[in-house]
């Protein structure tokens, strides 16, 4: 029965993911908003391609899961994964920065060891070696880093971690011997592990281990995988030269949680790196009035009404023109529910226009976000079920439905949804995550077990449930967006008006966006502790979503996270004004940003 179910589940996920081919259209411009002609657009691993015309327009046939590759002389190439809702991809390409011989380029100085130490807690691209800290983004050679938070609960085998957690690594096993290879990398040809007297080979030579600054030549069987803070693999001869001849085969650097210390202030709290830099915010943000002035005409007309009756007449007049617009339906529902408290009338708007929203995950998720912000959790739960059916191959679908089940007081159903996701990972039906999503979903699963443990045990006839400790207590911010093509800059201002910005764009972080789309998630979390009192501000600069439609952003603010007194509030923002800073919300309490 298990084999039959497993085979069916695999077939179901694959067949849903690969649906009918459709035409994708778009316009390509450069950084100065000029049209780009003769940009080649091709589908990777297929004999399908086209070119943009003199006005930058193009059309190409593609299926969900296809990778579109955009290339043009002198411009940075771009890869975009087509999804089930992809119809329009308006792309902005940027000039390629070439490395020239005999040319000196002046750039920002390399961070000092003290600065790297300060940034270690919040920057997952920093690793500590026996010879000091290294920033993956600043070194001149290739280095791979795995954050320990991506290691799933219950994993215990370091061999499997080294074997399966680095992108592009393939594995062949022969009895008790494992061979790992990275295609196309002449410096990192293989890793060979054996169960007894294990050894790791990089560049076909025996690698060494740098564990919390201690150099070891033998495989570290004693390592507790759950105690790993970070792992780095240094394959380049340039990167291993400081280790001498014993490091000629490469180095596996492991920072353990026990062996890693973080700089702390006089209150014994991890220092806020934003306060250590001269990054003071002196800009302006859009006001509510600015947002209203840029709203669609139909919404401005409805909001100008002095009574429910007048607003109803304006809505019904505009319905003739916009009845097929999902955004008109969502805007109208939200207005009548929140402005006039007309629940029945607002619900009728959704019911009458649901055929416009149905079968489109982006529109359905926007509606679910709005329901959650209105605390209509049962309705949101029904919508998330619809999205799950449409996208069973998306990691986000499992998380959304698990959280929604918890919101409607069904913690056991929530736990079962998490368990289903972890099962699919174990059975390789879904891609293993080595990104921030693993950290998010593991934290939420542990939080569920910790706070709902008694209730779940009662429902499970007293079965024992293991709860992993979550070392974070404080305010937690989680951002989700309904459109995976959305690009934006999130900015966090501390009470001293110093800021940290997370750039979520193809220009700044193409690998991050590619990972999100490959795994099927669109969320990010930020943790806040109690090291700086005052008011925090969260701003956003919306950069678009490669189409002319808006993006819906959900911000969930958890207060007292990890405590019995934990509670949350949900805010939803319709993003439609591009390239301007907009204030989302403020948090006033005894807090400070700890890490992303």
Q: Rounded to an integer, what distance in angstroms lies between the CA atom of residue 134 and that of residue 151? A: 22
- DSSP states along 142-206: -EEEEEGGGSPTT---HHHHHHHSSTT-EEEEETTEEEEE-TT-TT---EEEESSS---EETTEE
Q: How confident is the model at residue 2 (pLDDT cuts 50, 70, 90)?
A: very low
Region(s) of the chain under CATH 2.60.40.1120: 2-92
Question: What percent of the chain is modeled with pLDDT above 90?
Answer: 49
Report whether pLDDT(278) > 90. no
Closest Cα partner for 224 from 129, 143, 151, 145? 151
How many CA atoms lie less than 13 Å away from 484 in the CB half-sphere? 23
- Indicate the average pLDDT of the chain: 82
Could you give phi then psi for residue 411, rounded to 5 degrees? -65, -30
303 phi, psi to nearest 5 deg: -70, -15
Please identify, in words, the CATH class of the domain defined by 2-92.
mainly beta
pLDDT tens sequence across 388-431 = 999 999 999 999 999 999 999 999 999 999 999 999 988 888 88
CATH 2.170.130.10 intervals, the chain: 122-261
When mean pLDDT is compared across 64-73, 115-124, 294-303, the lowest value belongs to 115-124
Identify the bridge partners of residue 491 per DSSP, sorted by sequence position: 501, 539
CATH number assigned to the domain covering 122-261 = 2.170.130.10
Asked if the model's pLDDT at residue 176 lies above 70, the reply is no
| Cα–Cα distance, 421 to 442 (Å, whole number) | 11
Specify whether the CB–CB gap between 549 and 86 falls below 8 A.
no
Number of neighbouring beta carbons within 10 Å of residue 105:
7
Report d(CA 252, CA 240) in Å as an integer.
10
Q: Report the predicted TM-score, pTM, of the whole model to 2 decimal places.
A: 0.71
Which pLDDT band holds residue 96 (cuts at 50, 70, 90)?
Answer: confident
pLDDT at 272 over 60: no
Q: What is the pLDDT of residues 449-481, one digit of tens each?
A: 999 875 665 554 444 445 555 567 888 999 999
Q: How many CB atoms lie within 10 A of CB 114?
A: 11
CA-based radius of gyration for the chain: 26
Contact 90, 57 (CB under 8 A): no
Question: Which segment, 122-126, 135-139, 211-215, 385-389, is predicted with the most confidence on average?
Answer: 385-389
Q: Residue 555 is inside which H or E element, if any? A: strand 551-561
Rounded Cα gap, residues 549 and 545, in angstroms: 8
Compute the average pLDDT of residues 193-219: 67
Task: Please give the DSSP secondary-structure letter assigned to residue 433.
Answer: P
Specify burial of residue 489 (Cβ count, 10 A radius: 0-12, 13-18, 19+): middle
> Regarding predicted confidence, which is higher, 199 or 489?
489
Nearest CA among 447, 437, 429, 434 for reference residue 558: 447
Average pLDDT over residues 36-41: 96
Least trusted range by pLDDT, from 157-161, 208-212, 301-305, 520-524 = 157-161
d(CA 390, CA 392): 6
pLDDT, mean of residues 359-375: 98
Given a cut of 80, is residue 338 above it in pLDDT? yes
Question: Reduced to 3 states, what is the DSSP secondary structure of residue 223?
Answer: coil
Distance CA 468, CA 155 (A): 13
- Angle of helix 436-459 relative to helix 411-426, nearest 10 degrees, comes to 130
Q: Is the per-residue pLDDT at 300 higher than 50?
A: yes
Cβ(371)–Cβ(393) below 8 Å:
no
Most confident of 147-156, 192-201, 221-230, 554-563: 554-563
Strand order of the sheet with strand 177-181?
170-174, 177-181, 191-194
- Residue 411's DSSP bridge partners are none
pLDDT at 302: 96
- State pLDDT tens for residues 47-64: 899 999 999 999 999 999
User: Which residue, among 288, 372, 296, has the nearest Cα to 553 in the 3D structure?
Assistant: 372
The segment with the largest mean pLDDT, out of 66-70, 272-276, 424-428, is 66-70
């Amino acid at each position: 029965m298990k084999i039959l179910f497993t085979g069916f589940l695999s077939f179901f996920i694959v067949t849903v993911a690969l649906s009918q081919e459709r035409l994708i259209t778009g316009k390509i411009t450069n950084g100065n908003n000029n049209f780009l002609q003769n940009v080649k657009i091709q589908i990777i691993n297929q004999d399908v391609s086209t070119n943009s015309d003199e006005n930058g327009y193009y059309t190409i046939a593609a299926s969900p899961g296809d990778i579109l590759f955009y290339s043009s002389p002198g411009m940075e190439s771009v890869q975009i994964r087509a999804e089930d809702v992809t119809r329009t991809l308006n792309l902005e390409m940027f000039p390629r920065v070439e490395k020239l011989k005999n040319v000196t380029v002046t750039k920002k100085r390399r961070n000092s060891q003290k600065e790297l130490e300060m940034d270690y807690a919040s920057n997952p691209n920093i690793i500590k070696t026996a010879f000091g800290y290294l920033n993956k983004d600043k070194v001149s050679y290739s280095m791979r880093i795995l954050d320990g938070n991506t290691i799933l609960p219950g994993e215990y085998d370091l061999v499997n971690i080294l074997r399966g957690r680095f992108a592009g690594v393939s594995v062949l096993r022969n009895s008790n011997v494992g061979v790992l290879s990275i295609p196309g990398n002449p410096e990192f040809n293989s890793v060979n592990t054996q169960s007894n007297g294990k050894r790791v080979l990089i560049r076909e030579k025996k690698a060494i281990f740098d564990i919390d600054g201690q150099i070891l030549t033998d495989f570290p069987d004693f390592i507790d995988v759950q105690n790993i803070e970070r792992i780095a693999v240094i394959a380049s001869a340039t990167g291993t030269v400081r280790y001498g001849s014993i490091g000629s085969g490469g180095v596996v650097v492991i920072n353990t949680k026990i062996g890693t210390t973080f700089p702390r202030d006089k209150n014994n709290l991890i220092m806020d790196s934003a306060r250590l830099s001269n990054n003071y915010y002196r800009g302006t943000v859009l006001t509510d009035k600015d947002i209203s002035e840029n709203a669609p005409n139909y919404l401005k007309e409805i909001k100008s009404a002095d009574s429910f009756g007048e607003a109803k007449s304006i809505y019904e007049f505009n319905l003739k023109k916009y009845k097929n617009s999902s955004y008109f339906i969502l805007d109208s529902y939200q207005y009548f529910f929140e402005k006039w408290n007309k629940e029945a009338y607002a619900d009728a708007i959704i019911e009458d226009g649901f055929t416009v929203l149905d079968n489109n995950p982006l529109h359905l998720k926007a509606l679910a976000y709005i329901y959650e912000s209105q605390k209509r959790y049962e309705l949101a739960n029904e919508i998330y079920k619809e999205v799950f059916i449409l996208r069973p191959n998306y990691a986000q679908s499992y998380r959304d439905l698990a959280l929604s089940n918890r919101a409607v007081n069904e913690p056991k159903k929530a736990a079962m949804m998490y368990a289903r996701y972890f099962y699919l990972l174990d059975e390789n039906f879904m891609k293993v995550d080595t990104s921030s999503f693993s950290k998010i979903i593991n934290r939420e699963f542990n939080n569920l077990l910790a706070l709902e443990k008694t209730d779940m045990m009662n429902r499970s006839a007293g079965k024992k449930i293991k709860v992993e400790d979550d070392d974070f207590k404080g305010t937690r911010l989680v951002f989700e967006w309904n459109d995976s093509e959305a690009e934006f800059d999130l900015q966090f201002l501390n009470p001293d008006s110093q800021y940290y910005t997370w750039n979520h764009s193809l220009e700044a972080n193409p690998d991050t966006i590619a990972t999100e789309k490959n795994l099927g998630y669109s969320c990010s979390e930020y943790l806040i502790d109690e090291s700086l009192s005052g008011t925090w501000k969260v701003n956003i600069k919306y950069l678009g979503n490669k189409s002319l439609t808006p993006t819906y952003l959900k911000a969930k603010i958890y207060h007292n996270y990890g405590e019995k007194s934990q509670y949350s509030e949900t805010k939803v923002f319709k993003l439609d004004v591009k390239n301007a800073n907009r204030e989302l919300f403020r948090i006033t309490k005894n807090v400070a940003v700890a890490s992303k």
